[in-house]
Amino acid sequence: MTSAPSKVTTIFSRAPIPLLLIGVFVLGYTFKGMVSKAPPATSVGTTDGSSEPVAEEIWTCSMHPQIRLPDPGKCPLCGMDLILAEGSSAPKVAKQAKKKPMYACAMFCVPPMPLPGKCPICGMEMVEVEDSGEDDAGGPVTLKLSETARKLAEIETVPVERKTVTAEIRMVGKVDYDETRLGYITAWVPGRLERLYVDYTGVPVQKGDHMVYLYSPELSTAQTELLEAVRRAAAAKGGGRSILDERAAEWAEDIRDKFRLWGMTDAQIAEIEERGTTSDYMTIYAPMGGIVIFKNLLEGAYVQTGTRIYTIADLAHLWVKLDAYESDIAWLRYGQKVEFEAEAYPGETFVGTVAFISPVLDPVTRTVKIRVNVENPDGRLKPEMFVRAVAHSKLAAGGRVIDSELLGKWMCPMHPEIIEEVAGDCTRCGMPLVRTETLGYVSPSAGDFEVPLVIPATGPLITGKRSLVYLEVPDEPGTYVGREITLGPRVGDYYIVFDGLTEGERVVVHGNFKIDSAVQIMAKSSMMSPAGGESAPAHDHSEREQHGDAAPSAMPLPRQDLDIPDKQKLSVPPAFANEFGPVLAAYLNAQDALSHDKHEPAQEAAKSLETALSAVDMSLLKGAAHMAWMKEANNMTKAASELAASSDIQKARAAFALLSESMIVAAKCYGTASETVHRYHCPMAFGDRGGDWLQTKEKTENPYFGSAMFRCGVMKETIEKRSAGGATDGRG
């Protein structure tokens, strides 16, 4: 291989000069002919086969070269205007009919890019995605995902269906006495309590048990009248002629009625007549069975007519008073079954019947009182027990309640436990029974029973005024289109659909936020931007599945003086960097703890930071440098105190964001003595307001999201160690 060139060199070196010149001309002519006879090269990027090369326009950010987009605009990271990348200054040519593939992050952190690679925000591998855009007639926006993109985005769809759904209404309350089954033992005549046979509360009694031995002088007078009337009535039967004798029987019966009104039994009255003598004492018997729940007086007390002595409650029948939220009232009905558990019997279920729904809403708690009748034959339930209840309501179209056990039946409007197959009167109160349909239940007649159209609750994206769903386009796998719909109430895990969907359409129930994020980034009509670029009204973000929800949003707007080029020229002695070192070290420990989702270590680091701040020798600083340190040190102390006292990690992260603002200023002003630190920025923190922090590592460790988005963020600048002259070098 090396010998041939050597021979050629030898020939030319030994040849005469004229012969050498002739050889050069011959070789040059030969090469010229070879070039001229070669076919013209096809230029890359042309559409008409011409030889003129055409360069494709690529727009990039001067601060973030990883951003490469086919059209001009703003950088999605910093908001700066994009510029033409090097080597792409030629004008655009007509686009080819076939769309070029675009690549986007499965989390849709940035707009789709023309080149594959890793997402500059979260580091995930970019996947192919196609934006179908809007049609010429202004139709709905569609988004087409490749099979790989669908898997990474975890897209899941289910068909819209008609289904009888069940609302689960959860309530809390407590057990109470049945007011209709309370009784009182009272004094029906004035007197003195000679003896109380039930001398403590909680004693069970039966109807007819003796309760009180009462002394009353009025009894003697009334008994004398009775005995005289009985004697005269007997004389009248023997042929007495006086008017009193003739009416003695009626007189005696009137006196007996008076004794009955005093609470005496027929047996007691008969005993007086048989005895033939008067007595100042009488025994009061229990008018009902139950438990003595109150003992109001002691033996020897004097009483007047109507004075309450005992209170008796029948605990075999109880009430459960529950609080139902305002939003759940529509699903509750009179006569409905309610299941509940008591704290005393975990795992055991009791059943009652709704007997009353308060017509008044509590303005403070925004709840309605629900009364449930419960049978308690074994006495296990006791008044004042706390309970957790749940009612299940099956719903028909329009939100009406279905109960197959009550359809077509008749119920008492006062006693819901009285249910009959035919019309009639209540066996307890005598009120006429009414049809269950008049109490809010669906009628079984033809055409009145319609199953509602429903979708899973994870399907719609709700902004407060608008409800948007993404549907899978039929016969086009991976293509999704957005559509606004009208929703009815939420029932358990489903929403009732009033308008906008038809049975059989497939709605996205998982991954819909990711699809909507992609549409938002493309500036198309979406949940947040109904007009494509115009923001939707403010709404509740409690159900958003975005990364920003992992960090708190209750934080003041970020400061605007983090670059502070004027403060970098402060006169700071090199020795002060050693004073600032422990402060920065404690801060970095807090950053490391929060990025790894460790709350308590972050609190300990904040306490160490407070100690380090108090130990700084501020006498080393003079003039403007001293005043600047006083300001930032005060801010850092407040933020560190809030971090140390934070009740949860989200509040700790909010305090750390405030701490970072002053720490960045201090680091740039006063420098570090031993290590270089980097300033990082996360644009998604705190509801997309963004947040900065310092760290020593060159790979992002996000303290505002932790493990949820550990690598989310971009390096903004580097703060070098302080030089011997006392100045720091900050480079972006």
Query: How many residues are listed for the chain in this entry?
Result: 732
| pLDDT for the residue 33 | 37
Q: Which residues contact 596 (CB under 8 A, 6 or more apart)?
A: 701, 706, 707
Q: Partners of 441 in the beta sheet? A: 401
For residues 515 and 480, the answer to whether their CB atoms sit within 8 Å is: yes
Look-up: residue for tokens 């998982």?
510
| pLDDT for the residue 690 | 82
Both tokens of 594, joined, read: 């929060």
SS3 content of the chain, % helix, strand, coil (to 5): 30, 25, 45
Nearest to 284 by CA among 268, 264, 301: 264
Domain ranges of the chain: 3-37, 156-162+453-545, 180-313, 317-439, 567-731
For residues 348 and 341, the answer to whether their CB atoms sit within 8 Å is: yes
| pLDDT for the residue 352 | 94
| pLDDT for the residue 671 | 75
Which residue positions in the chain have pLDDT lower than 50?
A: 1-54, 89-98, 134-138, 446-447, 533-561, 563, 565-568, 724-732
Both tokens of 524, joined, read: 């198309």
Q: Which residues contact 603 (CB under 8 A, 6 or more apart)?
A: 643, 644, 645, 646, 652
Let me know if domain 180-313 sits in CATH 2.40.50.100. yes
Provide the 8-state DSSP code for 680. Answer: E
Q: Measured at the alpha carbon of residue 397, what is the angle toward residues 391 and 398, in degrees to the nearest 5?
A: 85
| pLDDT for the residue 424 | 86
Strand, coil or helix: 449: coil
pTM: 0.50
Structurally, at CATH architecture level, domain 317-439 sits in Beta Barrel (2.40)
| pLDDT for the residue 644 | 92
**pLDDT tens digits, 697-724:** 888 999 998 888 888 888 888 887 765 4
Nearest to 165 by CA among 483, 543, 499, 488: 488
**pLDDT tens digits, 507-561:** 999 988 888 877 776 666 766 666 554 444 433 333 333 333 444 444 444 444 4
| pLDDT for the residue 137 | 40
| pLDDT for the residue 345 | 92
Nearest to 640 by CA among 663, 620, 624: 663
DSSP string, 370-382: EEEEEE-TT--S-
For residues 614 and 641, the answer to whether their CB atoms sit within 8 Å is: no
Interstrand relation of 191-196 and 210-215 (parallel, antiparallel or unpaired): antiparallel
Rounded to a whole number of angstroms, the CA Rg of the chain reads: 46
Class of domain 156-162+453-545: mainly beta
